[in-house]
């Protein structure tokens, strides 16, 4: 069989190109469109499309009316042909999601969690319960991604520091052995950034800022996650925005996380839902706290943009409540910006509060798409 330079069979290479083109396609796409767009012969397209259909990965989807002769049949991937699970770990809950190959959420659940109980057994137990409750076909399951709020070792076997979980130098080896499916563990902000990049395939550079129980970040440059020399890039939550300010879970003072995280709201005695409910009723104490959070968030966003000169995407749990306040936040950002008066580079994440768990699952979706 002919090969295409790198030792991979040419037919498999064409098949992968066709599948990936269909995966990115947002409009009608017929076999003739594939041949024209990818520079392939019609026999090559026909053979590889048939292969993909036999694999259950592609199907016909509608027709395009022709001016003469037969109407062209459209093609589309079968999103539910494979599934992946993402689990987001926080200091008091697990959030679990099943996603298809388009990173569309198929099922979702929140379960209580206490870090003192360890990671492997609670995650395994809740995962299996979640899969059973939603009748997930294990044979279609690509793997389970776990998003943790902390710094991992280079081999992802050790959780080096997770201040919001109160953990340091804890092995996560048990997750790999306890969960009976392929497992990938990553920092929650890296996961969130990966999900946003996946859905914004036209956007090669971005900074992702995650607003959860802690504050984290991810940097994507030229379509790749930049992890830094020691796997610790994007720790935006621990940049200082108020010297000598509020105490942070990391042990320092004045960090962005101390001012703009879910934990700050909880430390004031509110649940997040209660806080935003009172905010809508113009509670003065909540209004003052929220105004301070937005102003410090604007400082952090400006710092990130000044350093990286790219779009800044806000994701994480708090962004589920941020939409109505987003114009005001942009005003604060623009007021402190040197060059960008409209702060158009600041955007809300597509997945809002579900970015990290969908991004954790995205690892397996990307691997699958890339391996066809």
* Mean pLDDT of the chain, nearest integer: 93
What residues contact 21, with CB distance under 8 A and at least 6 apart? 29, 34, 37, 38
139, 64: one domain: no
pLDDT at 3: 42
**147: which strand partners?**
88, 186
Asked if the structure places residue 50 within a domain, the reply is yes
223-245 burial string, b = 16+ CB within 10 Å, else e?
A: eebebeeeeebbbbbbbbbbeee
Question: 219 and 340 share a domain?
Answer: yes
pLDDT tens digits, one per residue of 170-188: 999 999 999 999 999 999 9
One domain, residues 172 and 209: no
Q: Which domain holds residue 167?
A: 82-193+357-371
φ and ψ of 229, to 5 deg: -70, -30
- Cα-Cα-Cα-Cα dihedral sign, residues 239, 241, 243, 249: negative
Residues 131 and 27 in one domain: no
- Does an H or E element contain 183, and which? strand 183-187
Examine the pLDDT at 158 and tell me if it is beyond 80: yes
The pLDDT value recorded for residue 203 is 84
* pLDDT higher than threshold 70 for residue 61: yes
Q: Answer yes or no: do 367 and 342 share one domain.
A: no
- C-alpha dist (Å) from residue 329 to 243, 266, 294, 332, 333: 22, 21, 6, 5, 6
Length of the chain: 372
Are 73 and 101 contained in the same domain? no
Q: What is the pLDDT of residue 267?
A: 94
Based on the structure, what is the number of domains in the chain? Answer: 3
Instruction: Kindly report the pTM of this predicted structure.
Output: 0.91
pLDDT at 12 over 80: no
Sheet arrangement for strand 158-162 = 151-152, 158-162, 167-171
Give every CB contact of residue 205 below 8 A, 6+ residues apart in sequence.
Answer: 220, 221, 222, 308, 310, 311
- What distance in Å separates the CA atoms of residue 105 and residue 100, rounded to the nearest whole number? 7
pLDDT number for residue 62? 82
For residues 344-358, average pLDDT: 95
Please compute the mean of the pLDDT values over residues 290-313 and round it to a whole number.
Answer: 97
- Last residue of some domain: 51, 77, 103? 77
Q: Which pLDDT tens digit goes with each residue over 104-146?
A: 999 999 999 999 999 999 999 999 999 999 999 999 999 999 9
Single out the residue in 48, 77, 106 at which a domain terminates. 77
- State whether 26 and 150 are in the same domain: no
Same domain, 239 and 295: yes
pLDDT tens readout for residues 306-320: 999 999 999 999 999
In terms of domains, do 155 and 99 share one? Answer: yes
The alpha carbon dihedral of 103, 194, 301, 272 has a sign of positive
210-254 pLDDT, tens per residue? 999 999 999 999 989 999 988 889 999 999 999 999 999 999 999
DSSP H or E run through 17: helix 10-24
pLDDT (average), residues 35-58: 97
- Domain match, 232 and 312 both: yes
Closest by CA to 179, choosing from 317, 360, 367, 56, is 360
């Amino acid at each position: 069989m002919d090969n295409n330079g790198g030792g991979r069979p040419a037919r498999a290479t064409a098949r992968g190109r066709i599948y990936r083109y269909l995966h990115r396609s947002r409009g009608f796409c017929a076999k003739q469109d594939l041949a024209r767009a990818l520079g392939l012969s019609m026999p090559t397209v026909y053979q590889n499309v048939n292969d993909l259909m036999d694999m259950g990965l592609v199907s016909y989807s509608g027709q395009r009316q022709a001016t003469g002769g037969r109407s062209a049949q459209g093609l589309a991937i079968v999103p539910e042909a494979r599934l992946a699970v993402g689990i987001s770990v926080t200091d008091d809950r697990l959030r679990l999601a099943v996603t298809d190959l388009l990173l569309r959420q198929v099922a979702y659940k929140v379960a209580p969690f206490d870090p003192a109980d360890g990671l492997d057994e609670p995650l395994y137990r809740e995962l299996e319960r979640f899969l059973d409750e939603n009748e997930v076909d294990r044979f279609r399951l690509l793997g389970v991604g776990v998003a943790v709020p902390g710094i991992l070792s280079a081999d992802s076997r050790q959780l080096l520091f997770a201040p919001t979980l109160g953990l340091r130098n804890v092995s996560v080896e048990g997750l790999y052995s306890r969960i009976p499916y392929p497992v990938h563990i990553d920092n929650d902000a890296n996961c969130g950034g990966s999900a946003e990049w996946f859905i914004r395939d036209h956007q090669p550079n971005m900074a992702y800022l995650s607003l959860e129980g802690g504050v984290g970040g991810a940097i994507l440059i030229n379509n790749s996650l930049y992890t830094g020399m020691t796997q610790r890039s994007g720790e935006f939550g621990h940049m200082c925005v108020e010297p000598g300010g509020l105490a942070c879970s990391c042990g320092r003072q004045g960090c962005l996380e101390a001012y703009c995280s879910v934990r700050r709201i909880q430390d004031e005695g509110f649940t997040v839902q209660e806080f935003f409910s009172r905010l809508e009723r113009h509670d003065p104490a909540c209004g003052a706290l929220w105004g301070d959070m937005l102003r410090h968030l604007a400082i952090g966003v400006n710092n990130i943009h000044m350093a990286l000169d790219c779009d800044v995407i806000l994701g994480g749990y708090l962004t589920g409540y941020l939409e109505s306040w987003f114009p005001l936040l942009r005003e604060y950002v623009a007021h402190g910006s040197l060059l960008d008066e409209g702060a158009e580079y600041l955007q809300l994440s597509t997945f809002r509060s579900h970015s990290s768990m969908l991004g954790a699952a995205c690892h397996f979706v990307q691997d699958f798409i890339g391996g066809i």
